[in-house]
Amino acid sequence: MADGAVYIVDWETSDLIPAHRDKNHHELVYPVVSRLLERAGVRQSEVDLLVDSGSDFLDGRGLSTMTIVDALGGHLREECKVEDDGMWSLIYARMRVLAGTANLALVVSYGKSSESDPHWQSESVLDPYVGRPIGLDRLSASALQASAYIAASGVSDDAAATIAACRHQSAARSLRTPRAVSITEDEIKRQEPLIGPLRPAYMPAVGDGACALLLAEATTARRLTDRPVRIAGASSATDTFSIGDRDLLRLASLRVSADACAARAGWSATDADVLELSGATPFEEMLICQALGLAESSHADEYLAADSARRVNQSGGLLGADPVLVTGLIRTVEAAERIRKGAQRALAHSASGLAMQANAIMALEPGW
């Protein structure tokens, strides 16, 4: 530990598409990990630690890591699985590098939503006694939250359409999301909402994907790259479970984690050049922006609609591609890429649970 900081050395992703039909889980993840290690010039045996994100429910397995841990790079390595979005795995791997027992850590996340049923995936998050019989899922919870937001703050559908069109256009240009297609505001407005107020183009592009990332302490990072990205701060928080017990418009868990992250990094969202946010709909993006202090609650729609410099979600965000369990790690990779291209402060965000019950956030800076 030369300076007590942790650096992202390099990363690799699969194509983020609706379905990798020609690949099983191993075939999706193994090439991603291999390409990353090869490009970084690292042998698997030189990796001190693997922290991985996989989901039993998504994979249809009792213990999803059991037969895939070798493809993830974990054979005879220190390893641990965090069963949530990859950003939580990254947060845990960072702790172990900070503690000094791992100099080089691999973080891998994968998911094949195409082999599962997204409704069942998120409905089964509800408790079996009270919540599940209602039949709420991720999208209907998000739609309720959006309706409450519109009622309370008057954010507009016009702005949502502008934001959504921008995201789809960005994704259509991105090499990482080769199946994404452009759609205009007018086309969006002609769509009937599937779950009011959410039109199809406002929905996350749930699909398949894998992402791997190498973390290192300073000396190791210097040896492996001349373009490291420094993790200046990271935090997460989870709000209470029941949607009825939460202030859905405040996103208290995001506020708490953003404050903790800013305290460590020395800067906050308002200082960031780049923000990659895990909003599953334009309304979620607005709620995240107001919780991060980027705009007043009732003006977050205008703030995002007017974001012509594409400070937020230049990648296309979750509307471009939402590989469940990988999405937050993809946000980190997109933010890190922008740092390599000259940005000075980038913020990556992940959300988990219904109506963004849990949030994680990470502040990135150029390595040196």
149 binds other proteins (CB under 8 A): no
Instruction: Kindly report the backbone phi and psi dihedral angles of residue 212, in degrees, each rounded to the nearest multiple of 5, phi listed first.
Output: -130, 150
Nearer to other proteins, 53 or 281 (CB): 53
Residues between 22 and 81 that touch other proteins (CB under 8 A) = 50, 55-57, 60-63, 65-67, 69-70, 74-81
> How crowded is residue 45: how many other Cβ atoms within 10 Å of its Cβ?
10
Residues between 262 and 301 that touch other proteins (CB under 8 A) = none
Whether the bond between 193 and the residue before it is cis, its omega within 30 degrees of 0, is no
95 binds other proteins (CB under 8 A): yes
Q: Which of 13, 109, 113, 121 binds other proteins (CB under 8 A)?
A: 121
Q: Which of 256, 265, 288, 364 binds other proteins (CB under 8 A)?
A: 256
CA distance 206 to 318: 8
Q: From residue 335 to residue 354, what is the string marking binding to other proteins with x (rule CB under 8 A)?
A: -----------------xxx
Q: Which of 14, 28, 94, 329 binds other proteins (CB under 8 A)?
A: 94
Among 187, 242, 180, 228, residue whose Cα is nearest residue 207 = 180
135 binds other proteins (CB under 8 A): no
Residue 358 amino acid letter: A
83 binds other proteins (CB under 8 A): yes
Site residues, other proteins (CB under 8 A): 1, 4, 50, 55-57, 60-63, 65-67, 69-70, 74-84, 88, 91-92, 94-96, 98-101, 121-122, 124-129, 235-241, 252-253, 256-257, 260, 352-354, 357-358
